[in-house]
Amino acid sequence: MIVTLIVICEAAFWVLLAAGLALRYWAKMPRASVAVLLCEPLLEVVLLVVTAIDLKNGAEPDWKHGLAAVYIGYSVALGHYTIQWADVRVAHRFAGGPPPSTPKYGAPRAIHEWKLAARWILAALIAMGLLQGAIWYVGEGGSTDSLAAWQQKMLFLIAINVIIALSYTVFPKKAPAMTTNKG
């Protein structure tokens, strides 16, 4: 049931995002758009409550409960960023907004990568906190190995993001050299 709910929450996230952006750009209803987009966090609350109820009712903690924590961590730390990312692209494509811009070279790109890494690190830390809460919630009587395994995966996620950001800092991508055509 938890996996189904995660899939439903993910689908609902994109449906709410599409509906919110459609209200903003096509229906010209910015307040309604904001109201719809503010419903996004309710998805995580529902998932958290259902996961806690499932564990309270005696479900053996397994990978599904860990995945729920990871999904909630992602949604909390990167949900707003994802909405902004989509908003800029829809505004550009359908409403005459400026083109999306992501720095491609040098220090600006490194800063962008560190900011993105910080979001992923926050997502991982939120997930690890929820997983630890679930471990304490289940107590010593239940098997929590799968939840602890998810915590290890979150540490790996943190390491990967730091390595990526560090690589853009240590080996900054350089802009292509301008060539002139004399002919």
pLDDT digits (tens, 9 = 90+) for 22-45: 999 999 999 999 999 999 999 999
pLDDT of residue 66: 93
Q: How many CB atoms lie within 10 A of CB 11?
A: 11
Separation of alpha carbons 132 and 147, rounded Å: 8
The mean pLDDT of the chain is: 93
Contact status, residue 67 vs residue 3, Cβ threshold 8 Å: yes
- Supply the pTM of this predicted model: 0.88
Confidence band, pLDDT 50/70/90 cuts, at residue 59: confident
Label each residue of 11-34 as H, E or C: HHHHHHHHHHHHHHHCCCCHHHHH
DSSP 86-152: HHHHHHHHHH-PPPP----SHHHHHHHHHHHHHHHHHHHHHHHHHHHHHHHHH-TTS--HHHHHHHH
Percent above pLDDT 70 for the chain: 97
Whole-angstrom distance, CA of residue 78 vs CA of residue 102: 17
Q: Are 110 and 162 in contact (CB under 8 A)?
A: no
Note the pLDDT tens digit of each residue in 127-181.
999 999 999 988 877 788 999 999 999 999 999 999 999 999 999 989 888 766 6
Coil, strand or helix at 3: helix
